[in-house]
Structures are given as C-alpha cells and as structure tokens.
Copies of this chain bind each other. A is one copy, B any other.
C-alpha cells in the first residue's frame, strides 16, 4: 500500500570550472495511486562519524568552517569513505587524520541514509580508550581545530542541537550504557 515501483532513472552531472562535481539522479516511480512521481536524489558517498572517548571520558571534537551555514561548526570527527574502503578502516583513518587519536576498540553503532533524498549513508562509530598518538594529517584544503570537552558538556550541546553528530553521540552513549565491553 506504501510501495513505489521504479520505472526510470536518469543521471545528471553538474560541473564547476574548478573540477567541482555534483551528481544527481532523477528517479521516476509509479506510486500507490498509480500515478507517476519523480524525485531528485543526490548521489553522495558514504561517510563515517565517530564518538571518540578517552579513558577519562573526554570527547574529541573538531571545529570546521561549513559552506551551508557559512559558520564554523562544532562536530564529531569523521569524513567520506575512500573508494571501496571498509567502514571500520575509514573510521580509524578519519579519527587518526582529524584528531591524531588511536583507539583499541572501535565499535560500529549503526548506519543511516543522510536524508530521504540521497544515496549516501553515514556510518556511526564509538571509539573507546582513545590516546593521542599522531599529529593531524589533513588534506591541503582542510582546515580544522581539535577541541576536547567533558562528556557531560557535550551531552548538553547535543541535547540542544548545538553540535553536528547528535545521532552518533547518543547512539554511542547508549552503547556505553548497555555493552559490557565498554566498562
């Protein structure tokens, strides 16, 4: 009764001079009312996002300029997958690159599509016992600052929508409460 049947899919490429690219699908379905309905769906790559906790229950966050808000935002670390990269490897790689941390216990919490209109998923992780081991390893055009905060303070930021990665944060918090590995 809720199902749509796909009848057509068209790929649209948008290209900027600087090599900037965006790919969109135009998907056509027959809906439950037997009428055609079309949707634009962004082709996005998957990404990882990590709740990174130290043995003293401190959280590593990053500050980064974001072009949507045109503001510097406070976020859980993370980033896009490399082609064919395993999500666990991506989580430890992004953690290392963006914060210099290593963790002996990186736990997959869940995976969710970014929005109803994208092909991309965010894979959420909890990294326990994080230790600073490396210098940051950022891309040439990547500028961010690491911020360390107490878990309680981050919880308040998350509860009020003042951080990016609220879902990953609370999923990680639930895991800490319920998973014996995390004690």
Are B160's CB and A171's CB within 8 A? Answer: yes
Within 8 A of B (CB), among A120-168: 124, 140-141, 143-145, 155, 158-162, 164, 166-167
How many chain copies? 2
Are B29's CB and A63's CB within 8 A? Answer: no
Are B69's CB and A40's CB within 8 A? Answer: no
Stretch at the interface among A17-25, A51-59, A96-104: A17-25
Report chain B residues within 8 Å CB of A115: 68, 114-115
Are A112's CB and B166's CB within 8 A? Answer: yes
Candidates B16, B37, B160; contact of A40 at CB < 8 Å? B16
Are B141's CB and A109's CB within 8 A? Answer: no
Measuring CB to CB, which residues of chain A are less than 8 angstroms from any residue of chain B?
1-4, 6, 12, 14, 16, 18, 20, 22, 24, 26-27, 29, 31-33, 35-42, 63-70, 72-73, 109-119, 124, 140-141, 143-145, 155, 158-162, 164, 166-167, 170-171, 174-175, 178
